[in-house]
Amino acid sequence: MINLDRRPDRWRRVRRELDRFRDRNGERLSSLVRRFSAVDARYMEAGPDLSVLIPTFTLADQLTVDPNPLLRIDAEARAREIQMTKQEIAVALSHIEVWRLIADGDVPSALVLEDDVFMGYGFAGALERTWRSLDHSQNGEGFDLLYLAFNEVGDVAPVAPGKSLRHLDSPGIWEASGYVISRDGARKLLDALPVFGPIDLWLNLQFERMNAYAASRPIIEQRIDEPSTNSYSVLPVLSQVGVITREKPLLPTAKQLPGPVIAVGDIDTGLTALGTALSMIGYTCLSDLDCLPTAEMEALLVGQGDRAFNAYVNIGSLDADAIDQIAATHPAARFIATSGQIPTPAATPNQVLRLTPDIKDKWAALAELLGVEYPAFPYPSTLDTGMRTLGNTAPSTFRHANTNLAFDSGPWILPEKHRLPGRVVLEADSPDPHVPAPPHIIWTTNSRIDERIWTLRDDTFPSNMALFTPSNVTQNDDEVRLELRAESAVVRDLTSGAIASVAPYRYGRFRAEFRPSKVRGLVTGMFLHRNGPRQEIDIEFLGKDTTKMLVNVFYNPGPEGTKLEYGYRGTPTVIDIGFDAAADFHSYEIDWQPEAIRWLVDGEIVYERAMWNPTPIPDQPLQFNFNLWHSRSKEFAGRLDAKKLPSTAGIRAIEIRPALGTDVRPHVRFSSDVMNC
């Protein structure tokens, strides 16, 4: 049984599952099981030994096991390299080490299980029939591999009528969560090293050299009530090439988290990183402020549940007396100190944690305090911001009417009644002279598109019914044109154009002179974007009404590589700009700063958002993008008017003025306009 050290609950649960069955001698199967301490992706720092595992595979390898009618195994698929995730690497290394134990052991075969399985209905009888069929089907040859848990995805031979077994002659079996492997089979797999790609994919590519079988149906299954902590490297690639054609709402699952969480400590002891970490777990966390808004403070002290936040890190107005009162009024509260002691004697030992800088595994300490799953992403290493001031500046007003559309719900989006009443005032530190700043770009039609600065996209995304191709981006003396046309591609019936900056930017001003398309169903977008974590700042024009500009922000917390990519609608707002944008070229700008985002039209600020109004400000490096696409959602963009194709969006100028480098560190700038806490 492959089981992580930090998941004793899974080990206990599988032992209970095995307690349901006995062997021929009457012994419970749990007495036969041996636990293998799984390789943990959390603690892998160095890359794998390349003689054991090569952490890449190709799209062609994927399609060999799981063919797709929209894609071909061609030179392009063979050249498209996919980097395995750390979780996939750890799973593969765990299985390899188990094979070593079996190859060097004294039993002829062993059942290998992952720790998220259960025995399906009729398991005992089905296993007996399968094993007997295996004895009769080997023709004097020993078996190497027998799948008991699997999903059929490829060209797998059907099961003969009345048979409990089928021989595997070709790839097409996903999963490696429950299989029997013989000692000789384990040795064959070890002789075939290195593994490349996810372990279940690689096993398929070994069938031609092995005597491999599968039961007629899966008799061991993976639990659907246990969320997987694995991260699958192929999914983003399948989205980009257009295989994944439906995008379901990806929204965080509401979790019962203990709280409120109160964290205190000295500067430069990890407070800002702790605030980010709590957000990554799913807390709505307010951090690094000199005081709480009056209504929030009162609700927190008296124990009311109708608060904007459920975690508070480095808040100046939460002194020892306030924290003691919170301990008395909130039995589920948790208290964390990054230095010194927790300033409340009222808390019980299981409510407090000293998370000092010398603690190496901060996730483990937090997970134990909060009773949550150990996160699948790295703990943040953000430098401390310091305690900032919340000014009492009234929200800005603009002459252009704006209307909020339906927002996503989630821990990083505040409902309107809870938004901060003032503005957190920040500025950026000086850049690190050793880190080169991204380029200041001034582009007009007088110069050609420089491939060192711009990428012509050749991909798509699930809700886009067009495939981006470089040939749909053209340039003349007047403009760069992105053209969307009815043109059959392998994965789409439409093609279009998109460009993106090669360099990412963290804060700055992003301006373009452009003219959007005026065709129903089409969307012209100018935006900043990233995945891992997903953060995005948008300007979009919907062809069904180009007198209105849609602005949007998507926010997920965490440092580079955090696989939080929630968001379906985002937080969209429609602004009536007072003219038809498709009639001529106009200037549009996103001014993205640490404390606020402002949207400008022809140099005039038409809308802005401050921190936690309604989301935090995106804080990770983002790429600048421009595209023209057809939305799958008729509700969003309208039904496509195909008679008006081809259609174009034109760009006449782009200017990008980075704030500093991608490593800027927001810090306090005290304001004289301070709230009375």
For residue 297, CA distances in Å to 315, 317, 639, 675 come to 11, 9, 48, 13
State the catalytic residue, choosing from 221, 296, 536, 540.
Answer: 540
Q: Distance between CA 140 and CA 676 in Å, rounded?
A: 86
The DSSP element (H or E) to which 337 belongs, if any, is strand 334-337
CB count in 10 Å sphere of residue 547: 14
The DSSP element (H or E) to which 426 belongs, if any, is strand 426-428
Q: Distance between CA 51 and CA 322 in Å, rounded?
A: 58
In the residue annotation, 513 being an active-site residue is answered as: no
Parallel, antiparallel, or unpaired: how do β-strands 334-337 and 352-354 relate?
A: parallel
The DSSP element (H or E) to which 125 belongs, if any, is helix 123-137
Following DSSP, what letter does each residue of 238-297 receive, concatenated? Answer: HHHHT---------PPP------EEEE--TTSSHHHHHHHHHHHT--EEEEES---HHHH
User: Residue written as tokens 């403009």?
Assistant: 479
User: Residue 495 burial (CB < 10 Å; 0-12/13-18/19+)?
Assistant: buried
In sequence order, what are the residues at sequence separation of 6 or more whose Cβ sits closer than 8 angstroms to the Cβ of residue 621? 504, 505, 506, 530, 560, 662
**Residue pair 197/145 in contact by the 8 Å Cβ criterion:** no
Tokens of 497: 């154009």
In sequence order, what are the residues at sequence separation of 6 or more whose Cβ sits closer than 8 angstroms to the Cβ of residue 237? 59, 62, 80, 82
Dihedral pair phi/psi, residue 419, rounded to 5°? -70, 150
Q: Which residues are catalytic?
A: 540
